[in-house]
Amino acid sequence: MRQKNTNDNGEMQMKTTDLARRRGAAVALAAGALALSFGVESTAVADEVPAAAKPRFQMPFACDTHWRLDTYDSGHNPALDIVVKGNTGSSGKNVLAGYKGKVARTFWDRGAGNVIIINHGSGWYTAYYHLRDSHDKYVQEGDNVVAGTRIGHIGATGANSGGWAHLHYEQRYKANGIPTEADREAVHFNGTKYSGTGQTWKDVVSKNC
């Protein structure tokens, strides 16, 4: 019987190594498929797609009027509660769209009262709570609006208003579908950020002109 030479041993070793590599790849593929079938997050997933460029939102009030903004605790931030400067009485003040868009929803909610949500395109939305008048009095779903379009008045509707007139305001982002409170983003007005737990801005001037 011929004894295997060094070259033969080398070829056998290469074949063995190649077989092991293929088996390893097959195991990895099977594991990946199993993880997907059970919804397990993979460490090799692509980065999340970044949010689309944010519109230059303006305050939802008449030009050159003065307002106080509060974020309150971490459960409320990044939403804002807004009243007139000095909180001298906000009930009945006009609420305006702060950027062009289309009304996505108007509805009544036990906690939030009369609510309007506007779609501003590219996944960006704004939400307005506690409005005084019926949610569909001034705008209806599907209506187009521009900055300055009146959509309602500040009120105290809904159990979560606490009985005092103010506007609960949110900016939201979701790539597909109408976003919810879980999709809230930090609020910007005229390019300036107003966000952070426990923050208050006592005199912010609307540039919705």
Which tens digits make up the pLDDT trace of 94-117?
999 999 999 999 999 999 999 999
Classify domain 66-205 at the CATH topology level: Glucose Permease (Domain IIA) (2.70.70)
What are the residue boundaries of the structural domains of the chain, listed by start? 1-45, 66-205
Query: Sorting pLDDT into bands at 50, 70 and 90, what band is 197?
Result: very high
Share of residues in the chain with pLDDT > 70 (%): 76
For range 47-57, the mean pLDDT:
74
- For residue 3, what pLDDT is reported? 44
Give just the sign of the alpha carbon dihedral 120, 126, 130, 131.
negative
**What are 5-14's pLDDT values in tens digits?**
444 444 444 4
- Residues in contact with 201: Cβ distance below 8 Å, sequence separation at least 6, in sequence order: 68, 69, 194
Query: Sorting pLDDT into bands at 50, 70 and 90, what band is 25?
Result: very low
Residue 204 has pLDDT above 80, yes or no: yes
Residue 48 has pLDDT above 60, yes or no: no
Characterize 7-22 residue by residue with b for buried, 16 or more Cβ atoms within 10 angstroms of its Cβ, and e for exposed: eeeeeeeeeeeeeeee
Residue 3 dihedral angles phi and psi, to the nearest 5°: -80, 135
What is the residue-wise DSSP string for the chain? -PPP-HHHHHHHHHHHHHHHHHHHHHHHHHHHHHHHHTTPPPTTPPPPPPPPPPP----SS-TT-EEEEE--STTTTTSEEEEEGGGS--TT-EEE-SS-EEEEEEEEETTTEEEEEEEEETTEEEEEEEESS-TTSS--TT-EE-TT-EEEE-B--SGGGTTS-BEEEEEEE-SSS---GGGEE-EEETTEEE--TT-EEEEEE----
Instruction: Determine how many CB atoms are found less than 10 A away from the CB of residue 54.
Output: 17
Residue 122 has pLDDT above 70, yes or no: yes
The pTM of this model reads: 0.76
Residues in a beta bridge with 96? 150
Average pLDDT across the chain, whole number = 84
| 8 A C-beta contact, residue 125 and residue 118 | yes
- For residue 50, what pLDDT is reported? 58
| 8 A C-beta contact, residue 186 and residue 77 | no
- For residue 51, what pLDDT is reported? 72
Residue 92 has pLDDT above 90, yes or no: yes
The one-letter code for the residue type at 113 is G
- For residue 189, what pLDDT is reported? 98
